[in-house]
Structure 1
Amino acid sequence: MFLTFYVHPVSTFGAVLDMVTDRISTACLLVILSQVYRPSFVFLSLLALDIGSHWFQMYSTFLVGKSNHKDVKDSTSWLFRLYYGNRMFMGYCCVACELLYIILFLLAKESEKMTDVLMDAAKQSIIYSALLAFLLFGWATKQLVNVIQMKTAADLCVLYDLNKKHNK
């Protein structure tokens, strides 16, 4: 995620490397959190959604012949277009997501529920509450975009297969 803001991928290799490093950093955080909090399937499901949605997006981009997986101008989802069309908004969502995971790790206490940890942190001050709300909004938006991304890309793959079958 941070590589995107420092090195703008100008090649296919750069774009893939950028996405792979983003997925690896997120995967590491989610696997660690799955060991700290229960039920762990929540974090492992988020990991599957993150990797799966981005894989589908890259694959569908390849199938339809687009040069960039962030080219979603033809999408019917306004949120999906906003996310990939506005680097500041996408950056906010990505950074909020990663920071929330890091904060969850730093605040973790043995045998405590994640919701209790977040509520305790929010009760400490209005600043913590506002920060957590800001991060949770970015995190939730990114998860929603991942769901939209997976569905949109899966639909494109199905359409590609149907067109291929029809043109035989």
Structure 2
Amino acid sequence: MAKNKSIPIRPSKLSVYLYIPNIIGYTRVLMNCFAFAICFSNKWIFCALYFISFVCDGIDGWVARKFNQVSTFGAVLDMVTDRISTACLLVILSQVYRPGMVFLSLLALDIGSHWLQMYSTFLLGKASHKDVKDSTNWLFKAYYGNRMFMAYCCVACEVLYISLFLLAQNETEKLMDVLKASITEGSLVSVLVVLSLFGWAIKQLVNIIQMKTAADVCVLHDINKKERP
């Protein structure tokens, strides 16, 4: 006699929107909105809220796996929040440092590389943009294959940007002068700048590799499409 198999309950749209990790994501959005609203009037509160939001980026993923609430919407919400938050901070830095184009270029690299990576993931039929097992670049594979290494690079990048914002005393700071002063000074913020530079550099290199790799996928997709009868 065949055993009755339990039919899994189909979740409603509202229940997915109310997944715990997604609620954390909404909280991050609100936290960042408030943080950027007061960024010039209270730098320290801004930095604290921004960094807490960044830490929540790691917590929501753990919660999603812990409670079996992994969702495509949550992954997209997470990435969009990350990219917009970093973009806003880079825009602010471009206004308080000269040359501001340095930070706008970093913004373009960050957005462009991640957008291309997401699109190439879609073309390859992969479930996650972090699936780079078939990549031939060792650094690219190490970055996405080792959570601790990726976390270090991401944290270093955000810490550098926050520290630079704290070090800016006016709207016409010269970036190189501040970096040189950070090396010679012994303040906590200056030390954070120096310690985070290596991880920041690795992340930018990975972004460049990611952009090139993803662009190659798009080009090969076009070539293969033209070869089809």
Same-fold status (TM-score > 0.5):
yes
Task: Output aligned runs, 1:81-100, within 5 Å.
Answer: 81-100=141-160
Q: Find the counterpart in structure 2 of residue 47 from structure 1.
A: 107
**Larger-Rg structure:** 2
Q: Find the counterpart in structure 2 of residue 140 from structure 1.
A: 201
Q: 2:134 aligns with which of 41, 65, 74?
A: 74
Residue identity in the other structure for 1:95: V
- Cα RMSD over matched residues? 1.7
| Structure 1 residue 152 displacement after superposition | 0.2
SS of the counterpart of 1:71?
Answer: coil
Residue identity in the other structure for 1:96: A
Residue identity in the other structure for 2:132: V
SS of the counterpart of 1:7?
Answer: helix
SS of the counterpart of 1:67?
Answer: coil
* Paired residues, number: 168
Q: Find the counterpart in structure 2 of residue 122 from structure 1.
A: 183
Q: Find the counterpart in structure 1 of residue 120 from structure 2.
A: 60
| Structure 1 residue 125 displacement after superposition | 2.3
| Structure 1 residue 99 displacement after superposition | 0.8
Residue identity in the other structure for 2:149: F
Query: Residues of 2 paired with 1:98 and 1:131: CA distance?
Result: 11
Identify the range of structure 1 (11-20 vs 37-46) with the bigger mean alpha-carbon deviation.
11-20
> Is 1:75–1:81's contact at 8 Å kept on the other side of the alignment?
yes
Q: Find the counterpart in structure 2 of residue 23 from structure 1.
A: 83
Q: Find the counterpart in structure 1 of residue 168 from structure 2.
A: 108
- Which structure is higher in RCO with an 8 Å CA cutoff and minimum separation 6? 1
> Is 1:53–1:147's contact at 8 Å kept on the other side of the alignment?
yes
Q: TM-score, normalised by structure 2?
A: 0.69
> Is 2:132–2:141's contact at 8 Å kept on the other side of the alignment?
yes
Return 5+ residue gaps in structure 1 as ranges.
none
Residue identity in the other structure for 1:86: N
Residue identity in the other structure for 2:182: A
> Is 2:156–2:200's contact at 8 Å kept on the other side of the alignment?
yes
Q: Find the counterpart in structure 1 of residue 18 from structure 2.
A: none
User: Residue deviations 1:103-147, cap 9 Å, x none?
Assistant: 101001223311211221221229766543320000000000000
Q: Find the counterpart in structure 1 of residue 92 from structure 2.
A: 32
Query: Residues of 2 paired with 1:3 and 1:69: CA distance?
Result: 20
Return 5+ residue gaps in structure 2 as ranges.
1-53, 65-69
Q: TM-score, normalised by structure 1?
A: 0.93
